[in-house]
Amino acid sequence: MLALLATLIALSPAELGRKAAPGLSAIRPEAIAAHVRFLADDLLEGRRSGERGHSIAERYVAAQFEALGLRPAGDRQGWLQAVRLREVRADPARSSLSIAGSPALRPFEDYLPGADATRTEVDIEAPLVFVGYGVRAPELGYDDTAGVDLAGKIVVWLQGAPGSPFPPLAKAVYTDNGVKWGPLAQRGAVGIFSLLTPERLQILPFDRRVRTERHGTVVSAEATPMPPVMGVPSQLADALLAKANTSLSELLDLAQRGKLRPIDLGVRARVRLVSTAREIISHNVLGLLPATEPGAKEIVAISAHLDHLGIGDRVDGDPIYNGAVDNATGIAEMLEIARALATQPHRKRTVLFLAVTGEELGLHGSAWFTRHPTVPLEDIVANLNLDQLSPMWTPHDVVQRGAEQSTLEDHVRVAAALSGLSISPDPVPEQTFFVRSDQYNFARRGVPAACLWQGFRDEGGGGANEAIFRKWRTTRYHQPSDDLEQPFDWSAAAAWARFEFLVALSVVEADARPAWKADDFFTKFLASHR
């Protein structure tokens, strides 16, 4: 019965395999390698949004789209869509934090000053109240802030979101500071201290956060007001908590046991943040591959982020953050998937290819597109996003990262069966990937979305590739060494691109439009956050 249902939503593997033959043979490892070599070259200077290297990358992708015969789908019938951003940089000399009248603490050394999207001068003086993770999740019957008077208070929350009983996706969604802040702002809270937790620091350590944030924080030019999120490392956290006779480790222990309670910390703090702001314009690049059926309206959106971190602090003498894996490989695979889909003689739906800017700086390009869509958003039936691929080992399994929330899962299953891949649960749910790339902005606007990912299974069914991933993550992720001087397996990259092409073609050719599952967490989350 289940198999029958699945075939109604997606094609059978045999049928999909038959249809996909032209596209599958159009995907070549050499072509993927060539795109990555261009995009990750030092000449592109790390493709930071708003900088010259990103503009060159935009032209490259637009030229490739044009050569593939796509139609421009940006602003005013061009390939590009302008995305307006603002870079806000804290002035350490004029910014400070003091607790209970203590001497001023130093930004970027004692704490991370955060950024205010809409004001260049912030001066907040208020009492502190600890509110657990600061999460209010009505659809899960969970509220860290129940009964707390937040009016005029600075909230002190644990970075991230609760573990059990939150399912991994809910945990991911509620790590988003904006999602946490919304309900607290409505109750009059005026500031945010975020206690940095070992779990989150494992993803990005304090010194690396400092290195990135010193260069400024980039916000959307349309950002809604929200106070700066002060990042508090453990030493300072213990000082904040001392008067209430507790400590960060005690709170983390209570969190583990689901026993967090709000605490009036009995101290006041003063936050002064003076920053300079600079307007930045960068671009998304958009191309449409029209359906072959006349009058077809529905669109499948395939996206990958084009930007990376640009030029920054030298590591081992190298200042260029090339972003070869992150995310030249995603763009390269998207371009070859576009070639494959363009080779197909029949397409029931149109495909939109979207190289987005501003991902590394806060998912800005995809947020901008979903707020200012250049095609009707309601016609977009699904988003498949390509980010953080692992072109270092032959894929043997797939992690769904969002597909399991909707009937996209059926398409993934058929494409996986055809590609000889098994389906694995997320081996690193603590990384909260679903909310950390561009598919999240589509999902938040109700579009079924996924960022499929290579699992760790090796040839013998073991998890040998996990060691490769973890090593890459600690030594190359967001470092200048994510460059062309690392081992790539271009055949593995092509195998993954063929699999993603099969998923895309399955959605393009299916009778039914993908839909969220009714009993799914994200469906309920969307309903309770309208």
Instruction: Report which residue's Cβ sits closest to Zn ion.
Output: 326
Picking from 484, 85, 215, 435, the residue whose alpha carbon sits closest to that of residue 323 is 484
Could you write out the three-class secondary structure of 355-386?
EECCCCCCCHHHHHHHHCCCCCHHHEEEEEEE
Helix (H) or strand (E) holding 118: none
Minimum Å distance from CB 359 to Zn ion? 7
What residues numbered 407-466 form the site for Zn ion, per CB under 5 A? none
Q: Which is nearer to Zn ion, 185 or 203 (CB)?
A: 203
**Window contacting Zn ion (CB under 5 A); options: 125-133, 155-163, 189-197, 352-360:** 352-360
**Window contacting Zn ion (CB under 5 A); options: 43-51, 179-187, 230-238, 322-330:** 322-330
Q: Which is nearer to Zn ion, 360 or 397 (CB)?
A: 360
What residues numbered 193-222 form the site for Zn ion, per CB under 5 A? none
Question: Residue 265, class by beta-carbon neighbours within 10 Å (0-12 exposed, 13-18 middle, 19+ buried)?
Answer: buried
**Window contacting Zn ion (CB under 5 A); options: 8-16, 209-217, 325-333, 500-508:** 325-333
**Window contacting Zn ion (CB under 5 A); options: 188-196, 278-286, 324-332, 513-521:** 324-332
Q: Which is nearer to Zn ion, 48 or 86 (CB)?
A: 48
Q: Which is nearer to Zn ion, 47 or 283 (CB)?
A: 47
**Window contacting Zn ion (CB under 5 A); options: 29-37, 155-163, 192-200, 320-328:** 320-328
Provide CB contacts within 8 A for 516, sequence distance 6+: 405, 406, 446, 448, 522, 523, 526
Q: Which is nearer to Zn ion, 326 or 410 (CB)?
A: 326
Minimum Å distance from CB 491 to Zn ion? 24
Question: Residue 83, class by beta-carbon neighbours within 10 Å (0-12 exposed, 13-18 middle, 19+ buried)?
Answer: buried
Q: What's the Cα-to-Cα distance from 426 to each of 168, 466, 521, rounded to whole Å?
A: 9, 12, 16
Minimum Å distance from CB 334 to Zn ion? 16
Minimum Å distance from CB 131 to Zn ion? 30
| Residues 445, 462: Cα–Cα separation, whole Å | 38
Minimum Å distance from CB 477 to Zn ion? 7
Q: Are 114 and 230 contacting, i.e. CB atoms less than 8 angstroms apart?
A: yes
How many alpha carbons lie under 13 Å from residue 64 in its C-beta half-sphere?
26
Minimum Å distance from CB 389 to Zn ion? 12
| Residues 295, 178: Cα–Cα separation, whole Å | 40
What residues numbered 354-413 form the site for Zn ion, per CB under 5 A? 360
Residue 105 falls in which region: left (phi positive, over 0), alpha (psi -120 to 50) or beta: beta
Q: How many residues bind Zn ion (CB under 5 A)?
A: 2
What are the two backbone dihedrals, phi and then psi, of residue 349, each rounded to the nearest 5 degrees?
Answer: -120, 160
| Residues 262, 197: Cα–Cα separation, whole Å | 17
> Which listed residue (87, 307, 326, 483) binds Zn ion by CB under 5 A?
326
How many alpha carbons lie under 13 Å from residue 424 in its C-beta half-sphere?
20
Minimum Å distance from CB 326 to Zn ion? 4
Could you write out the three-class secondary structure of 481-504?
CCCCCCCCCHHHHHHHHHHHHHHH
Q: Which is nearer to Zn ion, 122 or 325 (CB)?
A: 325
Q: Are 57 and 323 contacting, i.e. CB atoms less than 8 angstroms apart?
A: no
Q: Which is nearer to Zn ion, 326 or 438 (CB)?
A: 326
* Strand-pair category, 310-315 with 397-399: unpaired
| Residues 131, 184: Cα–Cα separation, whole Å | 10
**Window contacting Zn ion (CB under 5 A); options: 97-105, 261-269, 294-302, 318-326:** 318-326
Q: Which is nearer to Zn ion, 326 or 333 (CB)?
A: 326
Minimum Å distance from CB 327 to Zn ion? 7
**Window contacting Zn ion (CB under 5 A); options: 33-41, 46-54, 96-104, 323-331:** 323-331
What residues numbered 30-89 form the site for Zn ion, per CB under 5 A? none
Q: Which is nearer to Zn ion, 307 or 409 (CB)?
A: 307
Minimum Å distance from CB 478 to Zn ion? 6
Q: Which is nearer to Zn ion, 374 or 385 (CB)?
A: 385
Q: Which amino acid is at 212?
A: T
**Window contacting Zn ion (CB under 5 A); options: 3-11, 23-31, 340-348, 353-361:** 353-361
Picking from 220, 215, 234, the residue whose alpha carbon sits closest to that of residue 321 is 215
Q: Which is nearer to Zn ion, 48 or 270 (CB)?
A: 48
Minimum Å distance from CB 8 to Zn ion? 38
Minimum Å distance from CB 308 to Zn ion? 7
The residues binding Zn ion (CB under 5 A) are 326, 360
